């Protein structure tokens, strides 16, 4: 039987490998925050950094985006990773620990990628159509968000028994199996 510590190790290994392998399913994940009206708000983001020791995660975003306003109100968020080949789901409860504006990261990007962080208009504002955006390559809004995990839930669907386990920072990440 798979032991709890090897399950957590597997989760960390896969998150680390998503940083290197562009095709890894965990490269893209769902970030859910609490919207300003109190409801859930989910969107897809790219995993930019992961520290398996500290269980910290980084993403890049536009400093003017809605998620920033939401995280400034309530730093709690949830990450959902899913790999359809392994039927593996990781649900990670996190909280925001750091917001780091990074002009340097912005200036080092190729122009094609800079576009994601330098749209002249405020993200979320109505435009006439997809061509209606303007870019200001001199001014980037790239910021790095760092999150720390407080709980990780691992679920793998497999025969004869599914594997579901929950790990929490308060239990020193020891983990328990739970009914799938």
Ligand X SMILES: Cc1cc2nc3c(=O)[nH]c(=O)nc-3n(C[C@H](O)[C@H](O)[C@H](O)COP(=O)(O)O)c2cc1C
On whether the CB atoms of residues 1 and 18 are closer than 8 A, the answer is no
- Binding segment toward ligand X, per CB under 6 A, in 53-61, 75-83, 89-97, 163-171: 53-61
Q: Distance (Å, rounded) from C-alpha 45 to C-alpha 151?
A: 19
Closest CB 173 distance from ligand X, rounded Å: 26
Q: Distance (Å, rounded) from C-alpha 96 to C-alpha 74?
A: 9
Among 10, 51, 66, 144, interactor with ligand X by CB under 6 A? 66
The residues pairing with 99 across neighbouring beta strands, listed in sequence order, are 145
Which of 14, 43, 48, 49 has the alpha carbon at shortest distance from 30?
A: 43
The nearer residue to ligand X, 7 or 96, going by C-beta atoms, is: 96
Closest CB 113 distance from ligand X, rounded Å: 11
- Quick check: 115 binds ligand X (CB under 6 A)? no
The nearer residue to ligand X, 140 or 175, going by C-beta atoms, is: 140
What residues between 18 and 47 interact with ligand X by CB under 6 A? Answer: 28, 41, 43-46
Residues 6+ apart with CB under 8 A from 68: 61, 99, 143, 145
- Quick check: 67 binds ligand X (CB under 6 A)? yes
Closest CB 43 distance from ligand X, rounded Å: 3
Among 60, 81, 106, 154, interactor with ligand X by CB under 6 A? 60
Closest CB 133 distance from ligand X, rounded Å: 14
Q: What share of the chain is helix, strand, coil (3-state, %, to 5)?
A: 25, 40, 35
CA atoms within 13 A on the CB side of 18: 26
By CB under 6 A, name the binding residues for ligand X. Answer: 28, 41, 43-46, 59-61, 65-67, 123-124
């Amino acid at each position: 039987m798979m032991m709890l510590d090897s399950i957590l190790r597997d989760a960390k290994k896969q998150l680390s490998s998503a940083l290197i392998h562009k095709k890894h399913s965990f490269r893209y994940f769902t970030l859910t925050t609490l919207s300003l009206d109190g409801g859930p708000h989910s969107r897809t983001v790219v995993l930019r950094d992961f520290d398996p020791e500290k269980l910290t995660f980084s993403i890049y975003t536009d400093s003017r985006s809605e998620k920033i306003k939401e995280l400034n109100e309530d730093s709690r968020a949830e990450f959902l990773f899913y790999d359809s080949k392994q039927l593996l789901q990781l649900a990670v409860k996190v909280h925001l620990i750091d917001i780091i504006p990074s002009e340097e990261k912005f200036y080092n990007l190729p122009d094609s990628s800079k576009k994601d962080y330098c749209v002249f208009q405020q993200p979320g504002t109505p435009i006439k159509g997809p061509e209606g955006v303007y870019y200001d390559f001199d001014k980037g809004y790239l910021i790095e968000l760092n999150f720390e995990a407080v709980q990780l839930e691992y679920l793998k669907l497999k025969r004869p028994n599914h594997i579901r386990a929950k790990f929490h920072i308060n239990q020193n990440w020891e983990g328990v199996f739970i009914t799938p």
